[in-house]
DNA sequence: CTGTTAGCGCCTTCAG
DNA sequence: CTGAAGGCGCTAACAG
């Protein structure tokens, strides 16, 4: 491996001079600077970030940990975070926890050991509390995205999940639906909880009955096994006339399961969900959704993170951004009666 | 920051003993091991990966650089790579080049400086040659995914793009289409070239006319601006009866543009493409595609990479895996005549 | 079983 | 404008 000493020897200067050329610090004569640069190129020198971070005590690395890399909500969010990081002069790396607390834990360990300068996280759930406390204890700045974690105070970007659920239920109610079921992610995820709350409130508000039988708590992540959903559908009697899905992944899984049972959306049963279904949905705008500004989640979150990193002493109060969501009516709801 | 010296002092041992406990090397009495471990927990010690990597000359970090994080082909590939890495005991981080050579370059710089142990890359295009040569020069093992780069010899996982294109054209031909257009990614990307070659060969084989006017070379990445596609559609006279899209992103963009012009698929014009359209396509299986085993690209690529890293001395010949692709007939092709 | 010494590649500090 | 010394946190190699 080529080091500054190799450069120094070849250029007849000290290692210190080479270091100064690399970092553009101190005053160097144009002549030596040019010579050093030439030698660096000749030798294909690449600075050793490890060594540098070790002495500087910072890595200039930011990290985004998302919960599901195959979910377009998160990949769009990732684009936003990346764009903001670039614009502000930082490099960003990604990780994928797969909605899995253990994998998240592994990433946290890695990041802590790597001494990343800051972290953007969509936490896997409430069980992320200890991981986040560890980050805090080690003074790693972080911003939560999309999900809060009880017991954790931090900067955060959220969607208005409760209001979104209310809008979905109201829309169904306005279309004459009275038996409205909900399939949801795990209630250990704050967004799932909020959506569930909003669902129940809206039922009450619209004088609609609530029944436990009509609610299935499962997981936001993609699963190969759809039998749980199928059993739920089999259990409900009578079938609901509409289903609210807690996110886009669940919506797709429900539709597939319904189709397998010979039921069609919206002819036999209506369906709405949270989060848009990627640009691919634009081919055939079909599912009525609560659309969230995924890109903004990432962009604004990254801005907050970098702000904290750049001005650690200011230490203002935690900021909370709640992004509004929008009901987009398409064709997955049939008016009944 | 807590260091092994802090631990050592508190536990009345030397730093070396602490190091041995951390790494489970050498022989340590159960008593001291227990004591050291207790002190580490008390002090919330986290090993400094920088320092460790510096002396060990390896980071245990693997990296996957994909070309478009919003494309389900690549996110599925990412899942495959991640699963393989976990199974083999490695950690994986991600980056997204956005089909952009400059961003790719930035990532390469970062990775080189970070001294990652190995890299999985879906290169942005032929212009990646110098980046890859740099990796090679610095002896960073890498495996190419999905795209080859002329001038670069390496392990690689490819799809059979040429054959895929032939199948698509044959399918259209069998359905009576004679005016078949193609929209493609940049020809500086090997998969786009292969698909173009396959398209031309298949036209000849099926006695169909080839016309430059019917071919648009653009980019595989997502663009906000669809006017280029719109102008192309306006230029073709007469309109083709079918279009082959070089990938899923382009297919969606073409459909959107056609719809904006009041043209419907497949009633007014048929369309086929490469790569599946995410699980969301399962809602309404619509576009006839050449489906590739995205997950396997990542999984097999990662296996090859780790194999190289673990057995650097063996240095067998470069391996090339060509994954077969499969024509999935859906509803986006209308039989004509 | 445990400690000492030296050095990984770089930068800060202090002298010239 | 340039250089020498020391240390960031850790581990390999050698002593004991």
CATH number of the domain that residue A29 is part of = 1.10.260.40
| B54 contacts on A by Cβ (under 8 Å) | 48, 50-51, 54
B224 and chain A in contact, CB less than 8 A: no
The H or E element spanning position B84 is: helix B72-87
Pairwise pLDDT comparison (A179 vs B26), residue with the higher score: A179
Same domain, yes or no, for A262 and A317? no
Is any atom of strand D within 7 angstroms of residue A35's beta carbon?
Answer: no
Rounded Cα distance, B178 and A223, in Å: 42
Is any atom of strand D within 7 angstroms of residue A154's beta carbon?
Answer: no
Rounded Cα distance, B142 and B306, in Å: 10
Domain boundary among B41, B56, B71: B56
The answer to whether the CB of A108 falls within 8 A of the CB of A134 is yes
A193-204 per-position pLDDT tens digit: 999 999 999 999
Tell whether the model's pLDDT for residue A116 goes beyond 90.
yes
Tell whether the model's pLDDT for residue A277 goes beyond 90.
no
The H or E element spanning position A293 is: none
**What residue in A sits closest to B134 (Cα-Cα)?**
A44
Same domain, yes or no, for B178 and B261? yes
Residue A11 within a domain:
yes
| B48 contacts on A by Cβ (under 8 Å) | 54, 113, 115
Rounded Cα distance, A158 and A168, in Å: 18
Rounded to an integer, what is the distance from CA B258 to the centroid of its chain? 28
Contacts with B304 (C-beta within 8 Å, 6 or more apart), sequence order: B143, B155, B157, B319, B321
* Ramachandran assignment for A261, one of left (phi > 0), alpha (psi -120 to 50 degrees), beta (any other): alpha
Tell whether the model's pLDDT for residue A132 goes beyond 90.
yes
Same domain, yes or no, for A117 and A39? no
Q: What's the CATH number where B210 sits?
A: 3.40.50.2300
Is any atom of strand C within 7 angstroms of residue B241's beta carbon?
Answer: no
Q: Please tell me the pTM assigned to this model.
A: 0.94
Nearest residue to A155 (alpha-carbon basis) of A302, A293, A296: A302
Residue A330 within a domain:
no
Contact between chains at A51 and B54 (C-beta distance less than 8 A): yes
Tell whether the model's pLDDT for residue A207 goes beyond 80.
yes
Tell whether the model's pLDDT for residue B273 goes beyond 80.
yes
Structure-block tokens of residue B14? 């030397």
% of chain B exceeding 90 in pLDDT: 84
B32-58 per-position pLDDT tens digit: 999 999 999 999 999 999 999 999 998
**Omega before B204 within 30 of 0, i.e. cis:** no
* Closest CB from B51, B106, B280 relative to A54: B51
So what's the pLDDT on residue A105?
95
Interface test with A, best of B280, B282, B331 (most A CBs within 10 A): B280
B22 and chain A in contact, CB less than 8 A: no
Structure-block tokens of residue A191? 């967004």
Is any atom of strand C within 7 angstroms of residue A58's beta carbon?
Answer: no
So what's the pLDDT on residue B224?
76
Tell whether the model's pLDDT for residue A172 goes beyond 80.
yes
Residue B336 within a domain:
no
Residue A95 within a domain:
yes
Strands B61-66 and B91-96: parallel
Tell whether the model's pLDDT for residue A165 goes beyond 90.
yes
Residue B79 within a domain:
yes
Same domain, yes or no, for A206 and A320? no
Same domain, yes or no, for A260 and A299? no
Same domain, yes or no, for A145 and A50? no
Structure-block tokens of residue A7? 């450069």
Is any atom of strand D within 7 angstroms of residue A4's beta carbon?
Answer: no
Measuring CA to CA, how many Å separate A277 from each of A280, A285, A292, A298?
7, 9, 11, 18
Same domain, yes or no, for B74 and B137? yes
The H or E element spanning position B93 is: strand B91-96
Closest Cα in chain A, distance from residue B146 (Å): 18
Structure-block tokens of residue A29? 């004569």
The answer to whether the CB of B118 falls within 8 A of the CB of B309 is yes
Closest Cα in chain A, distance from residue B191 (Å): 22
So what's the pLDDT on residue B51?
93
**What residue in A sits closest to B2 (Cα-Cα)?**
A138
Same domain, yes or no, for B81 and B228? no
So what's the pLDDT on residue A316?
84
Average pLDDT, integer, range B164-186: 97
Residue B196 within a domain:
yes
* Closest CB from A78, A93, A248 relative to B69: A78
B130-146 per-position pLDDT tens digit: 999 999 999 999 999 99
B189-226 per-position pLDDT tens digit: 999 999 999 999 999 999 999 999 999 999 998 887 88
Strands B142-145 and B118-121: parallel
Residue B334 within a domain:
no
CA B40 to C1' C2 (Å) is: 19
Same domain, yes or no, for A287 and A298? no
Number of folded domains that form chain A: 3
- DSSP 8-class letter at A280: G
A322 and chain B in contact, CB less than 8 A: no
Least confident of A107-111, A179-183, B12-16, B282-286: B282-286
The answer to whether the CB of B68 falls within 8 A of the CB of B222 is yes
Q: Is B240 helix (H, G, I), strand (E, B) or coil?
A: coil
So what's the pLDDT on residue A223?
82
For chain B, the average pLDDT equals: 93
Q: Is B286 helix (H, G, I), strand (E, B) or coil?
A: coil
Rounded Cα distance, A94 and B91, in Å: 12
Same domain, yes or no, for A227 and A176? yes
A320-329 per-position pLDDT tens digit: 999 999 999 9
A237-265 per-position pLDDT tens digit: 999 999 999 999 999 999 999 999 999 99
Nearest residue to B305 (alpha-carbon basis) of B91, B118, B100: B118
Tell whether the model's pLDDT for residue B186 goes beyond 80.
yes
Q: Give the 3-state secondary structure percentages of chain B, helix then strand then coil, rounded to 5.
A: 45, 15, 40
B312-322 per-position pLDDT tens digit: 777 789 999 99
Contacts with A237 (C-beta within 8 Å, 6 or more apart), sequence order: none
So what's the pLDDT on residue B253?
93
% of chain B exceeding 70 in pLDDT: 99
Residue A25 within a domain:
yes
Q: Which domain holds residue A50?
A: 4-56
Same domain, yes or no, for B43 and B73? no
Identify the residue whose tokens are 């992004």: A323
Nucleotides of C under 7 A from a protein CB: 1-5, 7-13
Nearest protein residue to nucleotide D11, judged by CA and C1' positions? B55
Q: In the structure, what pLDDT confidence band is assigned to residue B26 with cuts at 50, 70 and 90?
A: confident
Measuring CA to CA, how many Å separate B234 from each of B228, B238, B243, B257, B268?
10, 10, 14, 11, 15
CA A2 to C1' D16 (Å) is: 37
Judged by CB atoms within 8 Å, which residues 65-84 of A form the interface with B? 69-70, 72, 75-76, 78-79, 82
Rounded Cα distance, A79 and A91, in Å: 13
Same domain, yes or no, for B281 and B207? yes
Contact between chains at A75 and B54 (C-beta distance less than 8 A): no
* Closest CB from A93, A115, A287 relative to B94: A93
Structure-block tokens of residue B221? 């990445």
So what's the pLDDT on residue A313?
75
């Amino acid at each position: 491996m080529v080091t500054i000493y190799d450069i120094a020897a070849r250029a007849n200067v000290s290692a210190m001079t080479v270091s100064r050329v690399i970092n553009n610090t101190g005053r160097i004569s144009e002549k030596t600077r040019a010579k050093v640069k030439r030698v660096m190129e000749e030798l294909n020198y690449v600075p050793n970030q490890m060594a540098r971070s070790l002495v500087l005590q910072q890595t200039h690395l930011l990290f985004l940990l998302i919960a599901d890399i195959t979910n377009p909500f998160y990949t769009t969010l990732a684009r936003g975070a990346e764009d903001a990081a670039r614009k502000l002069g930082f490099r960003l790396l990604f990780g994928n926890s797969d909605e899995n607390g253990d994998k998240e834990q592994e990433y946290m360990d890695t990041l802590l050991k790597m001494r990343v300068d800051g972290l953007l996280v969509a936490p896997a759930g409430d069980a992320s509390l200890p991981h986040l406390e560890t980050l805090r204890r080690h003074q790693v700045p972080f911003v939560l995205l999309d999900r809060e974690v009880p017991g954790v105070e931090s900067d955060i970007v959220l969607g208005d999940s409760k209001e979104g659920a209310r809008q979905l239920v109201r829309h169904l109610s306005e279309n004459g639906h009275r038996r409205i079921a909900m399939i949801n992610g795990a209630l250990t995820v704050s967004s799932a909880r909020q959506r569930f709350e909003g669902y129940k409130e809206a039922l009450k508000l619209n004088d609609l009955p609530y029944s436990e039988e009509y609610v299935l708590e499962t997981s936001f992540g993609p699963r190969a096994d759809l039998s749980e959903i199928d059993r739920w559908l089999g259990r409900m009697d009578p079938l609901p006339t509409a289903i609210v899905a807690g996110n886009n992944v669940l919506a797709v899984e429900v539709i597939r399961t319904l189709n397998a049972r010979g039921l069609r959306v919206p002819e036999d049963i209506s369906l709405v969900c949270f989060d848009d279904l990627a640009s691919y949905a634009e081919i055939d705008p079909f599912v009525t959704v609560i659309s969230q500004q995924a890109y903004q989640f990432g962009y604004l979150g990254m801005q907050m993170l970098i702000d904290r990193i750049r001005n650690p002493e200011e230490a203002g109060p935690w900021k909370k951004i709640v992004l509004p969501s929008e009901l987009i009516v398409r064709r997955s709801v049939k008016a009944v009666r």
